Structure 1
């Protein structure tokens, strides 16, 4: 079921209980494929991904996480596989009984007994539209409304170097950084007043950068924040 913007907003800030990522964040690996029996795998158009809640405990995870973590082989012996079944990693509830094989993700995998038509369906375009709208509602909520938005392409070389260093601290590169950069527009002497930061894009808490460093990058959404 395709989620409306209002329903998407209810998921904002919530995380996948399996992988820990925000439910509104996705990667190419999360995107759903059409069910095919011959030929090359085909991504669904428009692009979308799914969330599934355990029928017993209600915890929500990306469908890809259910596929990779919860749908496990049941072995008859060391060399032979008896079949596959899905068990909730949180409460141990058996979501699907034993079945002899499992469809590959890129061939249109669906959770047995829970077809995609019953899952929470998120179109990537809808999620981006929601984030774009929410973005401007969140700008300036931290540090007395003194964040302003600048383009990554407009930052100076020293600022770009600072962003690259901040990205490396969270395992990212400049190519992972979002186009919008948030710049804290306060005098340098006021930096000592900062005791906590949160991402101005997704709302996740940000680590305070080491002394002398002038940027911090959100590890969840890749948004850079420049400090004086």
Structure 2
């Protein structure tokens, strides 16, 4: 029994030593998989030529003010818009393609050594951008996340999961102005009524309206 207890104690001590020597930290290869849906209900397609940045920042304090800023990797402080920063801790690089996954040719990666980072992604083809706060788990790498751009969305911004999506170039269509009803035509002027005949005046065209001729005597003289 003493030997068994001694062996158990040695194994427990070894486990403690191994646990203490194990490195625990945040060393993450962040892999971003970009997609685009060109029309409502359409297929998700792998998106080429994406740009992405990672910042040691919090979306509660920092935002992206415009597409141009997103393109250049510039953040703006929410409550002090004059204060900007462009100190990205990582800029996306191409991910080594996987032969069996064609879409991987468009993936990008960033090496991040923090438990949390602000990620900015830019769709340069459709002039869209997105950002999010990304938390990482210890000793999990690569860390793969997808972002899907939808240029058909009729809005300047919306939330898609943890991503805030932006389209600075969307212009709402103006409501159609109702057509002005046509001005109703003036009612036709009724025919001007005939001027009534003066009472007592005979109508030569009316039957019996012709005055009888004065009788003439055989000798040509008028008779009374």
TM-score normalised to the size of structure 2?
0.20
Larger strand share, 1 or 2: 2
* Higher helix residue share: 1
TM-score by length of 1: 0.20
Q: Which has the higher contact order (CA 8 A, sep 6+)?
A: 2
